[in-house]
Amino acid sequence: MSDARDTAVIKNDPLPGMVEKKGSSLWLTHVLMLIGIFFVFFPIWLAFVASTVTQEAIVTPPMPLLPGDHFLENYKRALFSGVNVPVSTMLLNSLVMAMGIAIGKIIISLLSAFAIVYFRFPGKSLFFWMIFITLMLPVEVRIVPTYEVVAGFGLLNSYSGLIFPLIASATATFLFRQFFMTIPDELAEAARVDGARPMRFFMDIVVPMSRTNIAALFVILFIYGWNQYLWPLLITTEPDMNTIVMGIKQMFPSGDDTADWPVIMATSILAMIPPVIVVVSMQKLFVSGLVDSEK
Partner 1 sequence: MEKRVTFNGWLLPLCLIFPQILISAVFFFYPAGQAIWQSLFIPDPFGLSTQFVGLDNFEYLLSDKFYRASFVTTAIFSSLVTIVSMVPALFLAVLADRLIKGAGTYRTLLIWPYAVAPAIAGVLWLFMFNTRVGVVSWYLGQLGYDWNHVLNETEAMGLVVVSSAWGRISYNFLFFYAALQAVPRSVIEAAAIDGARFWRRFFTIVLPLLSPTTFFLLVVNIVYAFFETFGVIHTITSGGPQQATTILVYKVFKDGFVGQDLGSSAAQSVILLVVVGTLTVLQFKFVEKKVHY
Footprint of partner 1 on residues 63-122 (CB under 8 A)? 63, 65, 107-109, 111-112, 114-122
Contact yes or no for 235/161 (Cβ under 8 A): yes
DSSP secondary structure letter of residue 205: I
d(CA 176, CA 167): 15
Choice from 21, 81, 159, 204 touching partner 1 (CB under 8 A): 21
19 touching partner 1, by CB under 8 A? yes
| Torsions phi, psi for 15 (to 5 deg) | -70, 135
23 touching partner 1, by CB under 8 A? no
The count of other CB atoms within 10 Å of the CB of residue 129 is 10
Of 268-287, binders to partner 1 (CB under 8 A) are 268, 271-272, 275-276, 278-280, 283, 287
Of 152-181, binders to partner 1 (CB under 8 A) are 164-165, 167-168, 173, 177, 180-181
Q: Which of 245, 258, 223, 266 is nearest to 71 (CA)?
A: 266
d(CA 26, CA 34): 13
- Residues with Cβ within 8 Å of residue 122, at least 6 apart in sequence: none
For the bound state, the minimum distance from the C-beta of residue 260 to partner 1, rounded and expressed in Å, comes to 12
Find the part of the chain contacting partner 1 (CB under 8 A) among 30-38, 66-74, 78-86, 204-212.
Answer: 30-38
Of 209-228, binders to partner 1 (CB under 8 A) are 223, 226-228
For the bound state, the minimum distance from the C-beta of residue 240 to partner 1, rounded and expressed in Å, comes to 19
For the bound state, the minimum distance from the C-beta of residue 83 to partner 1, rounded and expressed in Å, comes to 13
Each residue 226-265 as x (binds partner 1 by CB under 8 A) or -, in order, gives xxxxx--xx----------xx-xx--------x--x--xx
Whether the upstream peptide bond of residue 14 has omega within 30° of 0, thus cis, is: no
